[in-house]
């Protein structure tokens, strides 16, 4: 999971935590790449074709996590009707092999639960040969309750919880299906 928010506390990270908890309950081992704790350098086109050879250890960590993933989740706040620049930069540090024939779940947080950011992420996913799953998660502030410890808000609205449950079920099934496809196509 790549969380494209630097804010503390963050609704986007709250969504990631809620999805990660559900993935773990399904028997998977979710990894959240948190750019608040691991800031990434700006993408350098010199490493575009061989991102694993990038000299920065944070980039190597991101690429290795994406290579090992059976599925990827992209999560972003909505900035100017689209995803965050830090998320796009993270994608620009990787290449097609990290995404090819993998299911990609799309998540965004912003006003009025708009789908503008996830639609842009859907285009990015297609460009990386990933397969965006049909169910997407879009939230706004009304969908959360404050965290007791002052941390990331917790998804609480019934409709959002149901959507996250469906999202995780679809992502898990598609990861199993696409694993067969990757073996046949790569």
Q: What is the pLDDT of residues 143-156, one digit of tens each?
A: 999 999 999 999 99
In this prediction, residue 179 carries a pLDDT of: 92
* Cβ 26 vs Cβ 172: under 8 Å: yes
pLDDT, average across residues 160-172: 98
In this prediction, residue 185 carries a pLDDT of: 81
User: Does the pTM of the predicted model rise above 0.85?
Assistant: yes
pLDDT, average across residues 49-62: 96
In this predicted model, what pLDDT tens digit does every residue of 87-122 receive, in sequence order? 999 999 999 999 999 999 999 999 888 899 999 999
* Cβ 181 vs Cβ 101: under 8 Å: yes
pLDDT, average across residues 161-172: 98
Asked whether residue 16 carries a pLDDT value surpassing 80, the answer given is yes
* Cβ 156 vs Cβ 143: under 8 Å: yes
Task: Say if residue 108 is exposed, middle or buried (CB neighbours under 10 Å; 0-12, 13-18, 19+).
Answer: buried
Q: What are φ and ψ of residue 172, in 5° steps?
A: -65, -45
Which residues lie closer than 8 Å to 124 by C-beta, 6 or more apart?
A: 74, 83, 88, 91
Query: What string of DSSP letters covers 145-183?
Result: E--TTSSS-EE--HHHHHHHHHHHHHHHHHHHHHHHHHH
In this prediction, residue 182 carries a pLDDT of: 84
User: What are 142's two structure tokens?
Assistant: 């009304």
* DSSP bridge partners of 19: none
Q: What are φ and ψ of residue 28, in 5° steps?
A: -100, 170
In this prediction, residue 105 carries a pLDDT of: 98
In this prediction, residue 181 carries a pLDDT of: 86
pLDDT bin (cut points 50, 70, 90) of residue 130 is very high
pLDDT, average across residues 131-149: 96
Mean confidence (pLDDT) of the chain:
95
């Amino acid at each position: 999971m790549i969380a494209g928010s630097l804010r503390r506390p963050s609704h986007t990270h709250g969504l990631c935590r809620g999805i990660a908890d559900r993935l773990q309950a399904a028997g998977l081992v979710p990894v959240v790449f948190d750019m608040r704790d691991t800031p990434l350098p700006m993408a350098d086109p010199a490493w575009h074709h061989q991102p694993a050879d990038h000299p920065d250890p944070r980039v190597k960590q991101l690429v290795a996590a994406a290579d090992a993933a059976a599925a990827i989740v992209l999560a972003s706040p909505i900035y100017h009707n689209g995803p965050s620049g830090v998320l796009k930069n993270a994608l620009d540090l990787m290449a097609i092999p990290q995404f090819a024939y993998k299911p990609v779940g799309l998540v965004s947080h912003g006003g009025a639960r708009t789908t503008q950011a996830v639609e842009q992420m859907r285009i990015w996913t297609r460009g990386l040969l990933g397969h965006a799953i049909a169910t997407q998660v879009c939230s706004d502030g009304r969908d959360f309750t404050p965290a007791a410890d002052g941390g990331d808000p917790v998804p609480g609205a019934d409709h959002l919880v149901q959507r996250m449950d469906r999202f995780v079920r679809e992502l898990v099934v598609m990861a199993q299906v696409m694993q067969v496809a990757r073996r046949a196509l790569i």
